[in-house]
């Protein structure tokens, strides 16, 4: 396979993504549940709904679908939005008693916002991979597919890339339908207050 100079940075992006978008939020969700921090729990539930687009993107990449580059970019744009958009949750978190949970939670919000913002900027030059079958087969694009394919080898050894990619397509279709419903009906009705 042809070497590309930015391969280590792509792998670093996946490692940071695993840390900031999965491992830390799962730990925080469990911690918030134990501490009975309702506002932080609600924000994390909203976050996981939005961040599921990154998981969908992984399955789309396994299936070698160019649209995965667009969905990954959208995920990295929507995650920071979901972390700061809700006025009532932000107010509740501001008034939450100071302590280690609040410090770590706030630090994670800022770190994830920075990671996703920089990640989205870094992904923009690769959007051409989404629109050209020929470009998608070049090392310039396939380097982004290496980590998802390794994920497949670890967790889905007996499944074909085509099957996993079709799961990604179904997940994306459901995600888009829910997003359209949310923006069209719930957001218009409730505004920047959380919906239970």
Q: With a cut of 90, say whether residue 148 has pLDDT above it.
A: yes
The more confidently predicted of residues 142 and 195 is 142
Give the pair of three-digit tokens for residue 108. 């994670």
Identify the pLDDT of residue 135.
Answer: 82
Give percent above pLDDT 70 in the chain: 96
Query: Mean of the pLDDT values across residues 38-54?
Result: 96
Identify the pLDDT of residue 14.
Answer: 97
40: closest CA among 111, 104, 113? 104
Identify the pLDDT of residue 35.
Answer: 93
Sign of CA pseudo-dihedral 42, 45, 49, 55? positive
pTM for the complete prediction? 0.92
Banded model confidence at residue 188, pLDDT cuts 50, 70, 90: confident
Other beta carbons less than 10 A from residue 23's beta carbon: 11
Q: With a cut of 80, say whether residue 19 has pLDDT above it.
A: yes
Identify the pLDDT of residue 73.
Answer: 98
DSSP string, the chain: ----TTHHHHHHHHHHHHIIIIIHHHHHHHHHHHHT-HHHHHHHHHHHHHHHHHHHHHHHHHTT-THHHHHHHHHHHHHHHHHH--HHHHHHHHHSPPSHHHHHHHHHHHHHHHHHHHHHHHHGGGTHHHH-HHHHTSHHHHGGGHHHHHHHHHH-TTS-HHHHHHHHHHHHHHHHHHHHHIIIIIHHHHTTS---
When the pLDDT of each residue in the chain is averaged and rounded to a whole number, the result is 93
Would you list the domain boundaries of the chain? 7-190
Identify the pLDDT of residue 20.
Answer: 97
């Amino acid at each position: 396979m042809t070497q590309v100079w930015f391969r280590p940075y792509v792998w670093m992006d996946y490692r940071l993504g695993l840390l900031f978008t999965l491992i830390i939020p799962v730990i925080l969700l469990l911690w918030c549940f134990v501490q009975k921090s309702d506002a932080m729990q609600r924000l994390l539930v909203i976050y996981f709904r939005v961040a599921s687009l990154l998981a969908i993107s992984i399955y789309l990449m396994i299936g070698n679908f160019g649209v995965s580059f667009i969905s990954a970019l959208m995920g990295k744009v929507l995650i920071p939005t979901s972390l700061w958009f809700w006025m009532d949750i932000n107010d509740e978190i501001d008034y939450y008693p100071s302590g280690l949970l609040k410090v770590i939670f706030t630090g994670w919000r800022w770190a994830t916002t920075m990671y996703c913002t920089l990640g989205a900027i870094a992904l923009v030059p690769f959007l051409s991979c989404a629109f050209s079958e020929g470009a998608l087969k070049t090392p310039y694009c396939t380097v982004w597919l290496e980590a998802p394919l390794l994920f497949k080898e670890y967790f889905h050894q007996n499944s074909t890339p085509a099957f996993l990619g079709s799961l990604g397509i179904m997940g994306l279709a459901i995600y888009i339908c829910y997003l359209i419903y949310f923006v069209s009906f719930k957001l218009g009705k409730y505004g920047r207050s959380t919906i239970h």
